[in-house]
Every structure is written in structure tokens, then in C-alpha cells.
Amino acid sequence: MPVPQSAPGKASASYDVVVVGAGFAGMYMLHRLRGLGMTARVYEQGSGVGGTWYWNRYPGARCDIESMQYSYSFSDELQQEWDWSERYAPQPEILKYANHVADRFNLRSDIQFDTRVERAQFDEESHRWKIVTSDGDTVTAQYVVLATGCLSNARMPEIKGLDRFKGKVYHTGHWPHEAVDFTGQRVAVIGTGSSGIQSVPVIAEQASHLTVFQRTANFSIPARNAALSEEERQWFRAKYADIRYFAREVSRNGIYTEIPDRGALDDRDNERRARYEARWSSGGLTFMSVYNDLALDKAANDTAATFVREKIAEIVKDPATAKLLQPNSHPIGTKRICVDTDYFAAFNRPNVTLVDIKSNPIEEITAQAVRAGGKDYEVDALVLATGFDAMTGSVAKIDISGRDGLTLNQKWAEGPKTYLGLMSAGFPNLFIVTGPGSPSVLSNVIVSIEQHVDWIADCLSHMRAQGCEAMEASKDAEDKWVAHVNELAYATLYPQANSWYMGANVPGKPRIFMPYIGGVGPYRKICDEVAAKGYEGFAMTGAEQPRKLAASS
């Protein structure tokens, strides 16, 4: 099929679709739009494709979902041909894969790199968006797709004196492109989420001394990462049709794994322990799917949490350090569980120290030290593994104004409001890929990306066939969806944790449980039913089929 492409170089003035972001979502969106014969321009602030994998180049960065599953499924040739080298690919390999996809599907000619979308404004007369970019250009598009990623807005912590530090400061989410060598240096890592937990063992091998500043101890399961054999790759390839079907249609989290048929308290102690041992030995995120009630029932959850705490005590030789590393502040899994390689064992090294900043908070950073609990920890380099303004942060950085000049930031001031995580009432023709209110970060995100992109592409095709110019989530459907998302979340243990799922890691951010917890398979069914009913809950308007667009209230 001939592929419509805009002229390379300077953007022309008008497109069918502007896509923001050239990560896994933006790339696949572009591919689908071309298939529909639509013109599209993708703006990407980085100098290359890959999104979060472009920015997160910190030591030890790798996927926490098996690469044979954390990969595109839309092209069978692609999934049959690409060779993942390890069970969990390291960041450079995932970035190589993203670049391979960009080349293989000839995507780059419609992607403008090093360019941020600063502003997007909906014109109610023409039903088109005016988009202003960081290079001073203004273009228009009928549709805007925000493929901005859930974990792409790295957050600098508000720590007094950070700007006075004389050594090097790195943020895991904004790691330099050139190799960073910590050999012989005294290094501080602040933050013990996934990024801290992955980087600590690697930095510990280089640094003369590593001091880890921990505010909240986290649950982490061994990855059991290893090279993938050709037999293992072939096993996946032969079963890909079933594996992908299961991940998309049946699973709760977009991962091919068995669905538990019992609760933790249905087993006797020794049976339960044997099951946890088996998962601990096989490694990875599926530890949480040993039983079907770990996210629902505190007593059930406690059995898994206790098991992991005992494992930590077995691994870490110094009892005081082990105790500090044992998480006690939240039920297991209610903050994203981490997957590590030798994290806890790293604290047995003589050159690694753990500092508890929950009881002795960091007071300030001086020219050469981190000061906590009245003590100066002198360091040559600071690694901030302090996370992201997740899910809404990258959207909020764009000045988006919809109907009646209302900005999305004003509308979301008390927390994000969407219908299906795909659209927000008052912002016609603006789609979000893996937005708040969709399974997104509670899933294998590539599965969720493909589902959203396919839904949006089918929707645009439908609109064109119906002669519709604009589409908008109705306020009523949105209100009901927001209530549903909340109701499901509050029936679980998740809201008990101060997690980034709740926006709790960003001072002042409203505490709303942002992702949809109802599961990938059930969520897909809802979206498909909405489409099958003529996009129920959305208002459409157009030449041939006028429906009241402002029917939203």
C-alpha cells in the first residue's frame, strides 16, 4: 500500500492528526494513521524515538516485564524476527528495538525530533486544533493524539541546597547519553523505587562507596534474569497467537500467566509457602498473581508481605539493615512492586550503606554532602532516583485549551477526569493513549498502547465514514466512568499506599487513584462495546450526521 507521508523538513501547516510523543504509543499511532491514509506529524522532544526508554539510561535500567511479552504484537513478522537476548532486556536493547521499528516501518520522515508541543488550542468554528511548537511553528490538525507516556516527566525533588552541590547530579529519568563511570567515587542514591532498586547493585560495583537514602522501603522480587536460549524464543514464537490473545483479551495485567483460582487463606501454611517459594524462584512481577485476593484482602496480602520480608531478612546479613529494608508502610503490590537483580544482597557489600530518611529526613544538601539526621554524608556524585510526575505530568506541561477556553489543567485541577481514559469532556478530537482512567501503568503497557491506538484508529475511520468532524466525551459518561474507576479502586488495598498511582509522590497533587484497576481484558470489552454501540457516551458532529456536540451535559 502506498504510504502517505508529509514532506520531510519543515512542517507544513495542516495535518489530519498531530501526535505528541514518539515513544511506543506515538510510533504505533503513526503507523496506523498512515494505514488509514491520514496525514500526520509526530512531535518528539527527544532527539530519537523510544520515549521513556530514550530518557531512562541509568545503570541497570531494564524492563520489568519479560521482553518476549513487552514488545509489539501488531506485526507478526516483527515479533517472529526480532531476537531478544535476555529474559528482561536492558534499556539499550529496548531502545535498539524502538529504532528498529522506526526504520522497519519507515516512520522517521513524519517525526520531528527535538521539538516540544507547547500549546494546543481547539477552534470551535473549524473543529480543528491549533498547535504551537517549541521551534515557533504553528500548525493545525483535526485531531491531536497525546502519546506522551505515563512515566516520562522526571521529577526533581524539592530538597534544600540541591543547587549548591558541587559534584555531579544525575536524575535516573534524564540520564546522560555518554557513559557515566563512578569508579572510585563516593555516590549517593536518593530514592528506592524501581529505578533506585535497579541501579544500586550496578553502581555499588563501581563506586568506592555508595550511600542509599531510603524514605520508604519497597517490596522487590528477584528478576531471575538470564540469557534467552533459542529454544525459549522459539517456544514463545510458536505460541505467540495464544499468548498475545490471552494478554489482550483475558488477562488482568496484559501478561501471559495463569489466573489464580484461589485465595491465599484457602491454602494451609506449608502449601502457601511452597507456592510463594516457587514464584520467588521463578522470579518477576507474577509473584503477585499466586493468589486472587492479594490486592483485595489485607489478611491474604499479609501472607505474601511476610514471606518477602522473611526473604529480605535471609539475604541481608546485618539485622538492623535488614529490618530497615523490610517494607511495613503499605500492603505488598499497592506501590508498584519492583523486580531486581541482587538489590538486597548489595547491602552486604562493605562499600554500601543504607540511611533511613524516614526517621531522619534529609535536611539539606551542602556543597559536598547530603545532610540527614544531623550527619553529613560526603559524596562526589548524587543520583536522584526520585521518580516521575506520573500519568498526568507530561500532559500538564502542554497548555491545552478546549471548548470555551477552558484549559485541561483547570479541568483536572482536582484530579484527571476522562471517559475510558481516552478523552476528556470539553476537549473534542483530543485523544490520550493510556491516559488516566485506563489500565495503563497497571498493565504490560505495550498491550494497553496497542489497544488504545487500535481503538482510536478505528474510531477515526468510523468518523470519516460517517462524515463526522468532531467527537467529544459526554460529561455524563465521563462522570460515570470516573465514579466507576474510583469505586473499583477503593474496593482494593491500593489506595492504602502513598504511591504515584495516587499522585502522592508529588507535593500538592490531588490524591486520586489514576489507573483503571478493572483489568485489561474486561476494559477492552467495555471499549469494544462502546464502539459497537456507535460510540456510546461520545457526542459526534459533522456534515452528514449532525449530533449535538455540546450534548455533553
Work out whether 383 is an interface residue with ligand NA7 (CB under 6 A). no
Closest-CA residue to 91 (of 119, 115, 55): 55
Name which of residues 265 to 324 contact ligand NA7 (CB under 6 A): none
Q: Which of 194, 225, 251, 438 is the binder for ligand NA7 (CB under 6 A)? A: 194
Candidates 4, 46, 157, 263: give the one binding ligand NA7 (CB under 6 A): 157
Smallest gap from Cβ 218 to ligand NA7, in A, equals 6
Name which position in 148, 386, 392, 451 contacts ligand NA7 (CB under 6 A): 386
Site for ligand NA7 in 526-545 (CB under 6 A): none
Give the residue with the Cβ less far from ligand NA7, 128 or 336.
336
| Contacting residues for 248 by C-beta, under 8 A, at least 6 apart | 73, 254, 447, 450, 451, 520, 521, 524
Q: Which is nearer to ligand NA7, 389 or 472 (CB)?
A: 389
Binding mask 477-516 for ligand NA7 (x = CB under 6 A): -----------------------x----x-----------
Name the phi and psi angles at 432, rounded to 5. Answer: -120, 130
φ, ψ for residue 201, nearest 5 deg: -65, -30
| 159 is a site residue for ligand NA7 (CB under 6 A) | yes
- Asked whether the beta carbons of 408 and 402 are under 8 A apart, the reply is yes
Name the residue among 433, 435, 463 with its Cα closest to residue 28. 433
Q: Are 544 and 466 in contact (CB under 8 A)?
A: yes
Let me know: does 42 contact 463? Beta carbons within 8 Å.
no
Determine the residue type at 105: F
State the distance between the two ends of the chain, measured CA to CA, in whole angstroms: 42
In the region spanning residues 389 to 418, those forming contacts with ligand NA7, defined by CB under 6 A, are none
Q: Single out the segment in contact with ligand NA7 by CB under 6 A; choices: 188-196, 200-208, 273-281, 539-547.
A: 188-196
Nearer to ligand NA7, 216 or 492 (CB): 216
Report the site for ligand NA7 in 350-379 (rule: CB under 6 A): 357, 362
Helix (H) or strand (E) holding 454: helix 445-466
Applying the rule CB under 6 A, the residues between 208 and 247 that interact with ligand NA7 are: 215-216
* Residue 500 C-beta: closest distance to ligand NA7, Å: 5
Only one residue has cell 534467552, namely: 228
- 3-state SS assignment for residue 151: coil
Stretch binding ligand NA7 (CB under 6 A), from 194-202, 314-322, 397-405, 545-553: 194-202
172 binds ligand NA7 (CB under 6 A): yes
Rounded to 10°, the helix 298-315/269-282 angle is 60
CA geometry: angle 210, 212, 214, nearest 5 deg: 175
Helices marked H in 207-253: 230-245
Which of 64, 297 has the CB closer to ligand NA7? Answer: 64
Q: Does 327 bind ligand NA7 (CB under 6 A)?
A: no
Query: Radius of gyration (Cα) for the chain, nearest Å?
Result: 24
Closest to ligand NA7 by CB, 53 vs 419, is: 53
Binding test (CB under 6 A) with ligand NA7, winner from 90, 193, 333, 495: 193
Ramachandran area for residue 313 (φ above 0: left; ψ -120 to 50: alpha; else beta): alpha
Q: How far is the CB of 509 from ligand NA7 (least distance, A)?
A: 12
Q: Binding residues for ligand NA7, how many (CB under 6 A)?
A: 22
- DSSP, residue by residue, 274-336: HHHHHHHHH-SGGGGGSSTTTTT-HHHHHHHHHHHHHHHHHH-SSHHHHHHHS--SS-TTSSP
Q: Nine-digit cell at 62?
A: 531494564
b/e sequence 15-24, b meaning 16+ C-beta within 10 Å: bbbbbbbbbb
196 binds ligand NA7 (CB under 6 A): yes
Give 193 or 201: the residue with its C-beta nearer to ligand NA7.
Answer: 193
Identify which range of 191-199, 219-227, 282-290, 416-424 contacts ligand NA7 by CB under 6 A: 191-199
| Chain residue whose CB lies nearest ligand NA7 | 193
Rounded CA separation 52/443 (Å)? 16
Helix (H) or strand (E) holding 143: strand 138-146
Q: Of the listed pieces 25-33, 135-143, 281-289, 381-389, which binds ligand NA7 according to CB under 6 A? A: 381-389
Number of helices (H), then strands (E), in the chain: 15, 20
CA distance 121 to 129: 5
Residue number, 185 or 198, with CB nearest to ligand NA7: 198
Q: How far is the CB of 526 from ligand NA7 (least distance, A)?
A: 24
Q: Which of 63, 117, 151, 453 binds ligand NA7 (CB under 6 A)?
A: 151
Task: Report phi then psi at 338, rounded to 5.
Answer: -95, 160
Give 32 or 330: the residue with its C-beta nearer to ligand NA7: 330
User: Does the footprint of ligand NA7 cover residue 112 (CB under 6 A)?
Assistant: no
Taking the complex as a whole, the smallest distance from the CB of residue 120 to ligand NA7 amounts, in Å, to 26
Site string for ligand NA7, 57-96 (x = CB under 6 A): ----------------------------------------
Tally the residues of the chain. Answer: 553
Least Å distance, CB 339 to ligand NA7, is 9
Q: How far is the CB of 377 from ligand NA7 (least distance, A)?
A: 13
Smallest gap from Cβ 338 to ligand NA7, in A, equals 7
- Give residues in contact with ligand NA7 (CB under 6 A): 151, 157, 159, 172, 190-196, 215-216, 336, 357, 362, 385-388, 500, 505
